[in-house]
Structure 1
């Protein structure tokens, strides 16, 4: 399998961990321009995050700018042609699975089958408490939510699920997803998240694992899947260091990988050697124009050298 590349779009989430200063004044037109640039440049997917509300104690670090992933992905589906649409990650335990299924099935239907449902357990206690969901049991909630969503996003017009937390049957939902099976990628890097990805997911979305930690995590996933007899295709992801194509004329940070296209490609090929199938890239930039230029250069000059 060749090494594909996707992008978590800027603007739609503005945590101080990664947002660039120019994003604060950006808006919908910037998101559309960047989504179209990613589509043209051969990116496999564009991704949007999910937070319902950010408590005051976390707002200085996280900010409160978090676009709704369903609304954002549906909007961007209408202005792109082939790029896939990833929720990275939807905290599906905050919502009833039938509600999530209705929303994401509609996105898949409207986009012609381009949805990838990325899910995660969540980490903000106040969100769970405000919405009446047990924060301490969020792992168990996510486990059953995945099972319920598998049923509700399947081919049946009247899906059925009987579990400890959710119980439904006899309620029809149309439109159905355009895909026969909507891929579910599980986010997280804790032992529980890795196990969940291996046993319940079609892919794994690590959250900040450095390069030296990935091989052991990937080996663990393979071990768990082998023990469970799972032989279906499985997509392993990674999030590399920030990138800058070319020689920057400004300080892009000590962790940023910069230089000529082949140098970037050589660094990124190491992920494929580990067993990674897709990388989620991020570029340093001072404006939308510079980011579009970076994405375009990556697609034209770096991507052909990844394999």
Structure 2
């Protein structure tokens, strides 16, 4: 399990550029290339930041685009890119809307990220708040709280040390299906965050 640096206070950051909501984005981010994102990550790594975080939205409906923007990098791709240009800083999804996909699919992506980064993943998960995203992907928006609860339990199994994880829940069930590589960490930390009801 990644351990945040010892001491009374640790700093992490949600990265700029990778999500450009009007609530927090600065104007320079709109034209920033990948090289700028990499340089920010390298600087945070060098300066002792505890973690770097990347958000998730698959698609933003027109009704929310002015406030939220449609710039939302994929967190797995973004964190994998940054893992390759950093050495010690932890890599966090802030937050992955895990109800949008099956837990085995999520586990495959994030186990690979943890494996390739040498055990630097913090899997931050949330319920999501954009109905149209769920509907477009055939996911259950109204039941997303219960889906999140079950998905967290399924992910604990799917991201554990077993090559053939097992889980049986109300919505998801799997056994006898092997997934390699396993995460580098014996147990990937799963943090729950968000602001929706």
Q: Do both share a fold (TM > 0.5)?
A: yes
How big is each residue's C-alpha offset from its partner over 1:130-167, in whole Å with a ceiling of 9 and x where there is no partner?
11111110001100000000000000000000001001
In structure 2, the partner of 1:112 is 118
Matched, 1:68 2:68: no
- The number of aligned residues is 191
In structure 2, the partner of 1:102 is 108
Structure 2 residue ranges without an equivalent (≥5) = 1-6
In structure 2, the partner of 1:5 is 11
Matched, 1:170 2:170: no
How big is each residue's C-alpha offset from its partner over 1:90-112, in whole Å with a ceiling of 9 and x where there is no partner?
00010100000000000000000
What's the CA shift for 1:27?
A: 2.0
How big is each residue's C-alpha offset from its partner over 1:13-33, in whole Å with a ceiling of 9 and x where there is no partner?
000000000001012111100
What's the CA shift for 1:2?
A: 1.9
Bigger Rg, which one: 1
More helix by share: 1
Which 4+ residue blocks in structure 1 deviate beyond 3 angstroms?
Answer: none
Matched, 1:132 2:127: no
How big is each residue's C-alpha offset from its partner over 1:233-252, in whole Å with a ceiling of 9 and x where there is no partner?
xxxxxxxxxxxxxxxxxxxx
The 8 Å contact of residues 45 and 89 in structure 2, kept in 1 or not, is answered as yes
In structure 1, the partner of 2:3 is none
What's the CA shift for 1:3?
A: 1.2
Matched, 1:150 2:163: no
Structure 1 pair 55/134, CA: closer, same or farther in 2 (3 Å)? same
Give the whole-Å Cα distance in 2 for the aligned partners of 1:80 and 1:2.
Answer: 24
Structure 1 residue ranges without an equivalent (≥5) = 193-307
What's the CA shift for 1:189?
A: 4.7
Choose from 58, 61, 80 the match for 1:52.
58
Give the whole-Å Cα distance in 2 for the aligned partners of 1:50 and 1:10.
Answer: 13
The 8 Å contact of residues 99 and 140 in structure 2, kept in 1 or not, is answered as no
Give the whole-Å Cα distance in 2 for the aligned partners of 1:2 and 1:106.
Answer: 32
In structure 2, the partner of 1:183 is 189
